[in-house]
C-alpha cells in the first residue's frame, strides 16, 4: 500500500510502510498548511526547482531526519552549503532511494534563489519533475511547468497511476492547459496542486476535477493534510 499526503501548494509526501519521501516542502510559508516541518518524518527530500515556495523547509526537515536532499546538481550544491546531505542529479537520470526510484524529467519553468538584501539571484539549475516508482506504482509530480508537447510522450511511455499537476495559472499551467496535460499523461488518477496558496493562483479546483471527469478521466481533490492510499 502506498500513501500520498498532500501538504498544500506543491508539497506531497509519498510513503510505503515505514519509508517516506517528501517533494517540495513549503509549510511555514503557506497559511493553508496544517503540518509543521517538525512533523514531517521522511527518508528523502526531492526538490523540483529552486524557488522559495518549493525549498523553504528542505533544510530543517533534512537535518531533523538525516535525510538527503535530491535535486539538480546546482540546487544540490547550494543545499550542501546549508550543511545537509545531498544527491545531485539531472534531467533524464534516476536515483535509487532504496524503497523507491525517482527519475527526473523536464519541466518548463524558471529556477533561482533570490537574495533580496543583496538584490541578487543565484542560478538554481534546470527545473524538473519526477517519475517515482514505489510498490509497483508510478507517481508523476510534474513540478512547476507550463504545457509542452512531450507530456504526451511521457504518457505514452509510462503507465502512470497518479499524476500531480499544477493548475494555479500565472506561474504555471492554468486549468485549461492542465486539462490538456492530464489527457496526454493519461493517469489513472489526476490530483491538482499549486493553487490557492496565494491570491494570484486562486482556482476552482472542483471545477477542474469535473472537467477531468467530462473527459473520461478520474480526478480527486486533496485538502492540506489529507491522505490517499493507492
Q: What is the pLDDT of residues 130-173, one digit of tens each?
A: 999 999 999 999 999 999 999 999 999 999 999 999 999 999 99
How much is the pLDDT for 82? Answer: 97
How much is the pLDDT for 172? Answer: 98
Q: What is the mean pLDDT of residues 41-65?
A: 98
Question: What is the model's pTM?
Answer: 0.98
Q: Beginning with the edge strand found earlier in the chain, give each strand of the sheet holding 162-166 in spatial order.
A: 94-96, 101-106, 128-134, 137-141, 162-166, 189-193
Q: Is 166 in contact with 10 (CB distance < 8 Å)?
A: yes
Q: What is the mean pLDDT of residues 1-26?
A: 98
How much is the pLDDT for 142? Answer: 98
What's the DSSP call for residue 116?
Answer: G
Burial of 208 by CB count in 10 Å (0-12 exposed, 13-18 middle, 19+ buried)?
A: buried
Q: Is 90 in contact with 72 (CB distance < 8 Å)?
A: yes
pLDDT over 70 for what percent of the chain? Answer: 100
Domains and CATH numbers, the chain: 2-222 (3.60.15.10)
Distance (Å, whole) CA 57 – CA 24? 8
How much is the pLDDT for 124? Answer: 98
How much is the pLDDT for 27? Answer: 98
At residue 36, the 3 state secondary structure works out as coil
Partnered with residue 133 across adjacent β-strands are 101, 138
- Signed CA dihedral, 166, 169, 172, 173: sign only: positive
Distance (Å, whole) CA 149 – CA 164? 17
Q: What is the mean pLDDT of residues 164-193?
A: 98
The band of 217, judged by pLDDT with boundaries at 50, 70 and 90, is: very high
Distance (Å, whole) CA 32 – CA 41? 20
The band of 93, judged by pLDDT with boundaries at 50, 70 and 90, is: very high
Q: What is the mean pLDDT of residues 73-94?
A: 98
Show Cβ contacts of residue 100 under 8 Å, excluding neighbours closer than 6 positions.
Answer: 14, 16, 19, 21, 44, 132, 133, 134
Q: What is the pLDDT of residues 94-142, one digit of tens each?
A: 999 999 999 999 999 999 999 999 999 999 999 999 999 999 999 999 9
Computed over every residue of the chain, the mean pLDDT equals 98
Amino acid at each position: 500500500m502506498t500513501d500520498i499526503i498532500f501538504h498544500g501548494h506543491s508539497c506531497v509526501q509519498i510513503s510505503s510502510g515505514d519509508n517516506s519521501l517528501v517533494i517540495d516542502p513549503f509549510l511555514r510559508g503557506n497559511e493553508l498548511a496544517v503540518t509543521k516541518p517538525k512533523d514531517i518524518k521522511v527518508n528523502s527530500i526531492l526538490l523540483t526547482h529552486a524557488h522559495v515556495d518549493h525549498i523553504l523547509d528542505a533544510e530543517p526537515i533534512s537535518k531533523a531526519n538525516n535525510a538527503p536532499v535530491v535535486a539538480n546538481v546546482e540546487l544540490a550544491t547550494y543545499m550542501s552549503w546549508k550543511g545537509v546531505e545531498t544527491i545531485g542529479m539531472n534531467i533524464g537520470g534516476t536515483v535509487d532511494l532504496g524503497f523507491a526510484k525517482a527519475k527526473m524529467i523536464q519541466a518548463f519553468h524558471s529556477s533561482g534563489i533570490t537574495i533580496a538584501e543583496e538584490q541578487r539571484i543565484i542560478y538554481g539549475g534546470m527545473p524538473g519533475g519526477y517519475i517515482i516508482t514505489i510498490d509497483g506504482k508510478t507517481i508523476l509530480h510534474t513540478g512547476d511547468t507550463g504545457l509542452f508537447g512531450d507530456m504526451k510522450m511521457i504518457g505514452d511511455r509510462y503507465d502512470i497511476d497518479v499524476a500531480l499537476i499544477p493548475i494555479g495559472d500565472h506561474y504555471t499551467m492554468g486549468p485549461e492547459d492542465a486539462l490538456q496535460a492530464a489527457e496526454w499523461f493519461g493517469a489513472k488518477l489526476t490530483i491538482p496542486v499549486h493553487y490557492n496558496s496565494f491570491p494570484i493562483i486562486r482556482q476552482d479546483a472542483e471545477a477542474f476535477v469535473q472537467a477531468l471527469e467530462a473527459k473520461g478521466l478520474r480526478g480527486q481533490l486533496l485538502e492540506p493534510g489529507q491522505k490517499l492510499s493507492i
